[in-house]
Amino acid sequence: MGDVILTMKGIDKSFPGVHALDHVDLELRKGEVHALMGENGAGKSTLMKVLTGIYHKDSGTITYEGREVEFSNPREAQDAGIVIVHQELNMLGHLTVAQNIFIGREYMKGKLIDDKKMNEEARKLFDQLGIDIDPTETMSRLTVGKQQMCEIAKAISHEAKVIVFDEPSAALTEAEIEELFKIIRDLRNKQMGIIYISHRMDEIKVITDRVTVMRDGGYVGTLITKDCTKDDIINMMVGRVIYEDPKTESAVAKDAPVVLKVEHLNAGRMVKDVSFELRKGEILGFSGLMGAGRTETMRALFGADPKQSGDIYVNGEKIEIRTPQDAVQHGIGYLSEDRKRYGIVVDKSVAENSTMASLENYMKGMFIDKKKENDVAQKYVELLRTKTPGVDQLVVNLSGGNQQKVVIAKWLVRNCDILIFDEPTRGIDVGAKSEIYQLMNELVEEGKSIIMVSSEMTEILRMSDRIVVMCEGRKTGELGIEEATQERIMHAATLRE
Amino acid sequence: MEKIKQNAIVKKIGFNRLVLIGVWILLYILFAILTPVMKPNTSFVSYSRILSIMQYACFMGFLSLGVTFVIATGGIDFSIGPVMFCAALMGGYQLTSRGWPLAACLLICVLVGTAFGILNGLLVTYGGLPSFITSMASMMIAKGVGSVFTKTQSVSWPQSTAPGGWYRNLLSIKAGGVDLPIGLLILFAGAAICAVILNKTKAGRYILCIGSNREAVRLSGVNTKKWETLAYILCGMLAGLAAIFYVAKNTTVQPGLGDTFNNDAIAGCVMGGTSMAGGSASIGGTLIGVLIIALLQEGILAMGYQSHYQYIITGIIVLVVVYVDLRGRRRRN
Amino acid sequence: MTDKKKGNAFTDNPLVRAVGLQKIVVLLVLLLMIIFFAAVSKTFRQYPTILGILDGTYYLAFLAMGVTFCLITGGVDLSIGTGMFCYALAGGFLITHKDMPVIVGILVTLLCGLVMGTINGLIVSRGGHAPFLATLCTMMIVRGLGAIITGGASITWPSHSSPNGWTRMLFKLPVDRTMYPVGIIWVILAAILLSIFLNKTRPGRYIIAIGSNKEATRLSGINVANYQMLAYIISGFCTGLAALAYSSAYQSMAPSGGGGIELNAIGAAIIGGTSMSGGSGSIAGTIIGVCFMSVLQSGLPMIDLQANYQQIIIGIVLIVAVYIDVLKNRKLAR
């Protein structure tokens, strides 16, 4: 490790209602691979966005190569030599590899683009990195791993001094990761500073020199990787005190009937051979890190996305779910993690949203029975304690928590027995959160069954009777609430094949 | 201003619609003043002109009502004008050259329109094609089918006095020497039915919600493709109905035309407050929008200009109205 | 570990990939079509017919090449068919009714195209309108303008025999009583220039990039709005060129005409492999598509199908071409 190249000190950033970064420190040296770790929502990405000028910090200082800097956009950061390799790829699928790498700064020969020279330069770059990619290949024809390599090559071609990898390995195969690590070691030897964001504990141990851990937007500490164990890091990541009491024992009888059974579900890249059971009156928590395939599992189960294989049984009977219609027919309701896109129709009223899934029951002959519709909407507004001036209020005017209640009402009006709650409290303030929790408890007491996908450890431990943990599309653990601890869940969530 | 908006009556009719009615009245006054200036010895204020406006508004109204449903889903239908012509040609050809009974021929008009609606709907929803290109393709098909069917001849539906001319009474009826615009009443009745469908039935509810957020509706377990197709079918059917009122006004139909009416219909629709982005639509607004278009058309002709000016004006109207809607949406987000 | 997603031996053949599968298939179908028409109809084989087909190809080629740029950005230009008539009417009106020199007429025609293209570009890139709606409105506007400019009269550009008829010779050169289709030269020249522009210059590259991924292009520090606008300006200018080609090939042009031709042009581009969803397309493919369309149009009457069937068939061809494009994109997304 060489001299310090980048220091972020006391970085503070607030968004309306959220203190996203609370005086975070980070120090990066030349020739160092520095891991940045933390649970979902710990503030890692926000910190990197502040560094590269996508967000502007409220206070704190960034010192880069001995000078205090503040970039106003990613382009400026890039020009100064700080580049970020994004998790989601910013590629132009129709162009070739070389054209992608040099977009916006093409080599010219007179008035014309010198593609030959660009191909040569790209090839040189790849040789230097020891990657075997044909620069003339169309980008969309490469595997995701190769596309990632191209992003890295592009970053390096900017004469970067600091490279940020934002979960680079999430979509890579074992062999590709090996290749990636080789490149990273190379870059380290060339005295570049590398920030490596990942959830994968074993990778951190292999590739990084130091680890900085963040939690809830705050700085926890920095460790020398080779001197610490995996457990040390996990403890730092989850070390929060849980204010609300976690559930200690399941309220569900051991012999409660299984209402939903999923066997060997496969769907796309993100759902691999997932099997689980849901019992009557149970809250089944689905835990895992970002990109573990939980939402994808739920969407495939619900028929929102096509699945390749897998059997689904409701109340012991095998059923076929091809579209959301089928799922709803069988009494399954899905509360999406992205409320605005998939949950509500924002410029329609509370009443209209409430009866969306069960309009046929609110008809008087050919016409919608407006009174009956309003009555039922009103009933659930009261039952769920939704704060709205009236049932004819447009949903867009409600707060996040109340919008969520409208979505819940939609499925209750439909009288669904199996409810899938995907991140039910995301973007909802604390007060509304506990109301949603209370509501979920009431629902299971009434005999409904809930699958709750959540990225918040506290939420999982507080609400679930049983916990399924996923990692990279596979089920990697199943814990009864009695045996579940943050550490055990985190272990399963980082358990790779 | 806010006070006016909060007034009970204003709220009932809708502020925007009141503004549109105001625009209509202002335009009428404007034409009344300008017409004698531009063209001496001509008057704009006469019953026959009003009647002409109403008659034009009749078939335009049905076209506009239909396309309102499609625009409400977030789609567009550019085939309505030519489909109307195709329907009028096929019905009229059966009537005049094959001697079919009039009632059957009127039915043919509606059926032809419906058939094109089904074609568009299926291609857009199940085929996944963009609605604008699909409907432009079916516009060509409608023009071609119309020409082929009549062997490129224009078709003249019978005059009022001729046997089988009673269909013209659907548009206006002579009673005591005065032409009564029955057609307008029928249009209003049709609009009332459309308003009921849009606002009171499952179909209308789902059509509006699909336009607003298709994915959320699908994930509520609703067969979105079915309801979206229905919007196109309604649109086609209403274009078929429009054909009847078109021939009742003009009697003669030529093959290969009709696309100029697309823009007028869409203009009427967006002026009335239906958003091109989908999700919100107003049948009443569409009606007033169409009346404004009809007034413009009559006024431009009365002042001695040709209908070409109308094309330019409607083009600009659509651009401006949609831009205002876009900006409003952007500001809200 | 494989580099590429799976394909079969044929589609992975370097030659097939360089040219594009769709272009090869369309070219084959085109050849079959020509052989079929030539075999069935004697008239189809005659020189005047071939000249006629070429006349119908020139203007369509210019329109289709122009709209290819719009399609590549993920947009569309519906004003080109009517626009072509309007600009030709404006130029022709100055020559025939105002006794202006022919060169002025030509320049005005081209200028009209440029101006309308710029207006379309501004409305789409700055106003944020959906391209189809914006250009539909301008289509109505130019339709009205064309009629207003000429006062509703039809216009015929000077004929071959008249002293000002040299514009016609630009596309058909009479030598010893035989007409030579020199228009081919201009079309090929334009195709080469536009192809170089699209593939070898920065603006062309950025136009492709915008259609491929607008946000990523913006993040690369490229002024997306400017290049989007440029695509419409190119389309407008090409429409001006098409207006010259059209007016030199045909007798009279009625005002308010030209509607529907834009669909032939868009259809040609899509048949040639340009995607409606943007990001991919080629001038060569568009030219193949244009030949396909014009042979189809000229050939159908030769097998005793009335001219009206053309519209139906073109409508169907358009739907099929777009559907294939939709399927291609679905496969890519997977």
Kind and range of the H or E run holding B275: none
Distance from CA of A316 to the nearest CA of B (A): 22
**Pick from B53, B119, B110: nearest CA to B86:** B110
| Cβ-count burial C67-96 (b if 16+ within 10 Å, e if not) | bbbbbbbbbbbbbbbbbbbbbbbbbbbbbb
Residue A311 pLDDT class (50, 70, 90 cuts): very high
Greater pLDDT, A494 or A335:
A335
Cα→Cα distances A243→A425, A459, A462, B282, Å: 17, 11, 10, 52
Alpha helices in chain C (DSSP H): 9-12, 14-19, 21-40, 42-45, 47-72, 80-97, 102-125, 131-150, 166-169, 183-200, 202-212, 214-219, 224-249, 261-271, 283-302, 307-333
**Chain C partners of B311 at a C-beta cutoff of 8 Å?**
140-141, 143-144, 256
Pair type for strands A162-166 and A193-197: parallel
Residue C8 pLDDT class (50, 70, 90 cuts): low
In a domain, residue B118? The reply is yes
Greater pLDDT, A1 or A134:
A134
Q: Are B306 and C319 inside 8 Å of each other by CB?
A: no
**Chain C partners of A143 at a C-beta cutoff of 8 Å?**
1-5
**Pick from A386, A378, A394, A379: nearest CA to A432:** A386
Kind and range of the H or E run holding B119: helix B102-125
C74 — phi, psi (to 5°)?
A: 95, 5
**Chain A partners of C216 at a C-beta cutoff of 8 Å?**
90-92
**Chain A partners of B220 at a C-beta cutoff of 8 Å?**
324, 328, 356-357, 410
Q: Are C205 and A99 inside 8 Å of each other by CB?
A: yes
A24 — phi, psi (to 5°)?
A: -95, 140
Nearest CA in chain C to A54: C219
In a domain, residue B333? The reply is no
Residue B259, pLDDT score: 85
Mean pLDDT throughout B195-214?
94
Q: Are A93 and C212 inside 8 Å of each other by CB?
A: yes
User: Which residues lie closer than 8 Å to C202 by C-beta, 6 or more apart?
Assistant: A106, A108, A113
**Chain A partners of C6 at a C-beta cutoff of 8 Å?**
none
Distance from CA of C13 to the nearest CA of B (A): 30
Number of domains, chain B: 1
Angle between helix axes B80-97 and B47-72 (nearest 10 degrees) is 120
Which residue of A357, A363, A367 is in closest CB contact with B221? Answer: A357
In a domain, residue B37? The reply is no
In a domain, residue B131? The reply is yes
Q: Is pLDDT of A202 > 80?
A: no
User: Rounded mean pLDDT of chain C?
Assistant: 88
Kind and range of the H or E run holding A287: strand A283-288
Residue B244, pLDDT score: 94
Range of the domain at B268: 45-321
C-alpha–C-alpha distance, residues A355 and A63, integer Å: 56
Q: Are A345 and B205 inside 8 Å of each other by CB?
A: no
Q: Is pLDDT of A313 > 60?
A: yes
A489 by DSSP, 3-state: which? helix
Give the rounded percent of residues in chain A with a pLDDT score beyond 90. Answer: 45
In a domain, residue B124? The reply is yes
**Chain B partners of A349 at a C-beta cutoff of 8 Å?**
none
A453 — phi, psi (to 5°)?
A: -90, 125
C-alpha–C-alpha distance, residues C270 and C281, integer Å: 8
**Chain C partners of A83 at a C-beta cutoff of 8 Å?**
none
Q: Is pLDDT of C285 > 70?
A: yes
How many C-beta atoms surround the C-beta of residue A441 within 10 A?
15
Chains touching chain B at 3 or more Cβ pairs under 8 angstroms?
A, C
In a domain, residue B16? The reply is no
Give the best residue of B125, B208, B214, B219 to mutate against chain A (max A CB count within 10 A).
B219
Q: Are C326 and B129 inside 8 Å of each other by CB?
A: yes
Residue A1 pLDDT class (50, 70, 90 cuts): low
Which residue of A92, A115, A146 is in closest CB contact with C209? Answer: A92
C-alpha–C-alpha distance, residues C189 and C174, integer Å: 21
Q: Tens digits of per-residue pLDDT, B158-189?
A: 887 777 777 888 888 877 777 788 889 999 99
Greater pLDDT, A407 or B16:
A407
Enumerate chain B positions whose Cβ falls within 8 A of a Cβ in A: 196, 200-202, 205-206, 208-209, 212-213, 215-223, 279-280
Q: Which domains does chain A have, with CATH numbers?
A: 4-238 (3.40.50.300), 258-493 (3.40.50.300)
Q: Assign domain C42-333 to a CATH class.
A: mainly alpha
User: Which residues lie closer than 8 Å to B175 by C-beta, 6 or more apart?
Assistant: none
Residue A245, pLDDT score: 66
C-alpha–C-alpha distance, residues C123 and C118, integer Å: 9
Cα→Cα distances A357→A331, A408, A424, B173, Å: 11, 11, 19, 47
Handedness of CA C236, C237, C240, C242 (dihedral sign): negative
- Classify burial at C66, counting beta carbons within 10 Å of its beta carbon; exposed 0-12, middle 13-18, buried 19 or more: buried
Residue A295, pLDDT score: 92
**Chain C partners of B147 at a C-beta cutoff of 8 Å?**
306, 308, 311
| Cβ-count burial A43-63 (b if 16+ within 10 Å, e if not) | bbbbbbbbbbbbbebeebebe
Residue C18 pLDDT class (50, 70, 90 cuts): low
Cα→Cα distances A431→A7, A261, A425, A437, B146, Å: 37, 34, 11, 10, 65
Q: Tens digits of per-residue pLDDT, B9-29?
A: 777 777 888 888 999 999 999
Q: Are B212 and A329 inside 8 Å of each other by CB?
A: no
CB distance from B320 to chain C under 8 Å?
no
Contact between A81 and C177 under an 8 Å Cβ cutoff? The reply is no
CB distance from B152 to chain C under 8 Å?
yes
Mean pLDDT throughout B84-100?
93
How many C-beta atoms surround the C-beta of residue C311 within 10 A?
27
In a domain, residue B18? The reply is no
Which residue of A327, A366, A367 is in closest CB contact with B221? Answer: A327
Residue C6, pLDDT score: 45
Tokens 């209370």 locate to A438
Distance from CA of A157 to the nearest CA of C (A): 14
In a domain, residue B15? The reply is no
Residue B2, pLDDT score: 67
Q: What ipTM describes this predicted complex?
A: 0.84
C-alpha–C-alpha distance, residues A106 and C128, integer Å: 28
C-alpha–C-alpha distance, residues A146 and A166, integer Å: 16
| DSSP secondary structure code for residue A245 in this structure | P
Give the best residue of C21, C197, C198, C200 to mutate against chain A (max A CB count within 10 A).
C200
Residue C12, pLDDT score: 64
Distance from CA of A283 to the nearest CA of C (A): 34
Q: Tens digits of per-residue pLDDT, A448-463?
A: 999 999 988 888 988 9
Residue A87 pLDDT class (50, 70, 90 cuts): low
Which residue of C136, C148, C315 is in closest CB contact with B144? Answer: C315
CB distance from C330 to chain A under 8 Å?
no
Token output for A136:
């003339």
Contact between B173 and B54 under an 8 Å Cβ cutoff? The reply is no
Pair type for strands A210-215 and A32-37: parallel
Greater pLDDT, A174 or B225:
B225
Contact between A101 and A153 under an 8 Å Cβ cutoff? The reply is yes
User: Which residues lie closer than 8 Å to B122 by C-beta, 6 or more apart?
Assistant: B229
Contact between A150 and A178 under an 8 Å Cβ cutoff? The reply is no
User: Looking at residue B75, which CATH number applies to its domain?
Assistant: 1.10.3470
User: Which residues lie closer than 8 Å to A378 by C-beta, 6 or more apart?
Assistant: A391
Mean pLDDT throughout B76-91?
95
Residue C15, pLDDT score: 67
C-alpha–C-alpha distance, residues B254 and C180, integer Å: 38
CB distance from C309 to chain B under 8 Å?
yes
Distance from CA of C118 to the nearest CA of B (A): 16
**Chain A partners of B205 at a C-beta cutoff of 8 Å?**
352, 359, 368
Mean pLDDT throughout A107-133?
90
Give the start-to-end residue ranges of the domains of chain C: 42-333
**Chain C partners of A103 at a C-beta cutoff of 8 Å?**
205, 209, 217, 220, 222
Residue C236 pLDDT class (50, 70, 90 cuts): very high
Mean pLDDT throughout A151-157?
85
Q: Is pLDDT of A160 > 80?
A: yes
Q: Tens digits of per-residue pLDDT, A352-387?
A: 999 999 999 999 988 999 999 999 999 999 988 888
Q: Tens digits of per-residue pLDDT, A76-86?
A: 888 888 988 87
Which residue of C141, C314, C330 is in closest CB contact with B140? Answer: C314
Distance from CA of C41 to the nearest CA of B (A): 22
| DSSP secondary structure code for residue A31 in this structure | T
Pair type for strands A258-267 and A271-279: antiparallel
Q: Tens digits of per-residue pLDDT, C198-210?
A: 999 999 999 999 9
Q: Is pLDDT of A17 > 70?
A: no
B–C CB contacts, 8 A cutoff, strictly below: 136
Tokens 């997603």 locate to C5
**pTM (2 d.p.):** 0.87
Residue C2 pLDDT class (50, 70, 90 cuts): very low
**Chain A partners of C221 at a C-beta cutoff of 8 Å?**
75, 104
Residue C329, pLDDT score: 81
Q: Are C276 and B130 inside 8 Å of each other by CB?
A: yes
Half-sphere exposure of A218 (CA within 13 A, CB side): 7
Of A255-264, C6-15, C141-150, C242-251, minimum mean pLDDT range: C6-15
Q: Tens digits of per-residue pLDDT, A228-253?
A: 887 788 888 776 555 556 777 787 88
How many C-beta atoms surround the C-beta of residue C159 within 10 A?
12
Which residue of A75, A95, A141 is in closest CB contact with C209? Answer: A95
Instruction: Classify residue A69 as left (phi > 0), alpha (psi -120 to 50) or beta.
Output: beta
Contact between A62 and A6 under an 8 Å Cβ cutoff? The reply is yes
Q: Are C5 and A93 inside 8 Å of each other by CB?
A: no
CB distance from B314 to chain C under 8 Å?
yes
Residue B75, pLDDT score: 94
C-alpha–C-alpha distance, residues A292 and A290, integer Å: 6
How many C-beta atoms surround the C-beta of residue B56 within 10 A?
24
**Chain B partners of A422 at a C-beta cutoff of 8 Å?**
none
Which residue of A341, A347, A356 is in closest CB contact with B279? Answer: A347
